[in-house]
A and B are shown apart, each in its own frame.
Chain A
């Protein structure tokens, strides 16, 4: 490495170590930029693909109050996506390119959204568990070293915790309701529990990005630490609902002060990542369809804007003449 490059790197790391935020115009290592673009765009894609499983139930929400709340929630996720694409663009990425990468299967999104929503209780379970797991990760990210990303997270976290409470409240209504409703809630927990634990990513010993990301303070906690934190917070909430976490290995450990829990099915995890989850194909198909069928709208909007601009120029020219 040439000395100048080395000095830049050292200065950069010193700023990180001093808890300074890195801003778009600051010098940063290429690898830092790339890691952030990858992570932020993955996050943005997750918000957008995540609209699909919940969007399924807008039409079937069981009361008008729930319908409005779900609409607003899914709309919030769209807003998060927009905001995060914006954050990625501060690093020189282009939203259109990022979306193309998603559609070409080159970019990832959170695997959790490759699971189906089969009952109304799933909407509760997603809010409680999926938004809940996302918050664990995102609260950490409010202190991430890249300024625009950290600030996006502050705003997004507020809404995510609202989503989580709303989801929990849906389940609470079911668990305080009839037998059929409680069964519906239990079935949802059975299906969403393990995929939610998988949201934190591979175990630390198998995680390829963790070490460098920790050093750059993009991440501040490891996957396993966050996962443990999630289990510790969530299990008592399940107890309060009166439904059972589907893990025979789950047990409070006096010594560690944490819950012990069973082994995650990593084979399933990697299968879903590789595209073999129950809904990978449908999710991508829906996104690509929306994008392709929207092409004429985007083209027309641009053509119209161009026509207007020209018309205005002509009018100006006439006025000046």
Chain B
């Protein structure tokens, strides 16, 4: 892998995370438990798809093959996607959605804090802008984790269940691989080791306040950010998302 390829891969990870989670959240639009939360989730979805656009456009430029944000979003298949497994997991219910959001936001927040000092100027500028949005996302999802964890017996049970299910996808977030290491060395990417401890602390603190129990670490699933093995869910997301572009190839919309 050349340095350029690693750089491209790294940006795809960031862009795909934002795009896929933004897409997932947008599935709630019109179906939220309360009108106010419907609006709030759509807000986050809007931020994330917006971030995905900037990052993917930049990724296309770094790759240098003339692919734009839409080519990257709409014309790659599952195996070429680089999002972490966590974000492609289905909404299930509001508990799953909020736990997934929190587990990702906490990681994403510290990640972007680091990316604020990236040597990639474009990435640094995007990260600075995104960080304000992500800080809000983290506040929102933390509050809901606490509220529902410490709400009623029923909400507590649902949250604990969601947490137990999703926990297996958290390992991938902070476990560095070759791309991560090379980008960190180049001063472009983040130091995942540092993020790991901040992340663990944050998650433990919020779960404690939410009266939720941190699940025991069993096995951590991986294969999303390196594209080796996504879950089956991603294929359905892409089938929906890419339908028009695939059915009417090469047209302007």
Contact = CB atoms under 8 A, between A and B. Distances in A.
Contacts of B32: 290, 294
B35 A303 contact: no
Interface string B240-251: 110111001001
A44 to B, nearest CB: 10
Nearest to A66: B253
Contacts of B69: 64
Contacts of B155: 296-297, 299-300, 303
B136 to A, nearest CB: 16
Contact of A63 (B30, B146, B151, B253): B253
A215 to B, nearest CB: 34
B241 A297 contact: no
B29 A58 contact: yes
A259 B27 CA distance: 42
A57 to B, nearest CB: 9
Which 9 residue pairs are nearest across A and B when measured between Cβ atoms?
A294-B33, A300-B151, A300-B155, A51-B30, A55-B30, A62-B244, A62-B253, A297-B33, A75-B42
A300 B154 contact: yes
A109 interface: no
B197 to A, nearest CB: 29
B59 interface: no
B52 interface: yes
Contact of A52 (B30, B245, B251): B30
A181 B46 contact: no
B73 interface: yes
Interface string B115-153: 000000000000000000000000000000011101110
Interface stretch (A154-162, A172-180, A220-228, A246-254): A172-180
Chain A residues touching B, range: 35 or more
B49 interface: yes
* Interface of B (DSSP majority class): helix
Interface of A: 48, 51-52, 55, 58-68, 71-72, 74-75, 78-79, 81-82, 85, 120, 170, 173-174, 177-178, 180-181, 286, 289-290, 293-301, 303-304, 307
A63 B250 CA distance: 12
B15 to A, nearest CB: 10
B70 interface: yes
Given A51-B29, A64-B73, A297-B148, A181 B251 contact: yes
Nearest to B25: A71
B26 interface: yes
Given A59-B240, A120-B253, A299 B53 contact: no
Contacts of A286: 30-31
A143 B31 CA distance: 33
Nearest to B50: A68
Given A290-B32, A300-B154, 6 more contacts: A67-B26, A173-B252, A181-B251, A297-B34, A300-B147, A304-B150
Contacts of B146: 304
B39 interface: yes
A60 B240 contact: yes
Contacts of B23: 59
A66 B73 CA distance: 13
Contacts of A48: 30, 35
A59 B34 contact: no
Interface residues of B, number: 48
A207 B75 CA distance: 52
B113 interface: no
A78 B33 contact: no
A68 B37 CA distance: 18
B108 to A, nearest CB: 19
A298 B243 CA distance: 35
Contact of A71 (B46, B93, B147): B46
A81 B30 CA distance: 11
B68 to A, nearest CB: 9
A178 B249 CA distance: 11
Nearest to A85: B35
B152 A303 contact: yes
Interface string B1-35: 00000000000000000010001001101111111
Interface string B219-253: 00000000000000000000011011100100111
Contact of B46 (A59, A72, A297): A72
A60 B45 CA distance: 15
Given A63-B253, A68-B46, A296 B152 contact: yes
Contacts of B30: 48, 51-52, 55, 74, 78, 286, 290
B217 to A, nearest CB: 28
B252 A177 contact: yes
A78 B36 CA distance: 8
B253 A304 contact: no
A78 B35 contact: yes
Nearest to B70: A63
A74 B253 contact: no
Contacts of A65: 53
B113 to A, nearest CB: 25
A295 B45 CA distance: 23
B63 interface: no
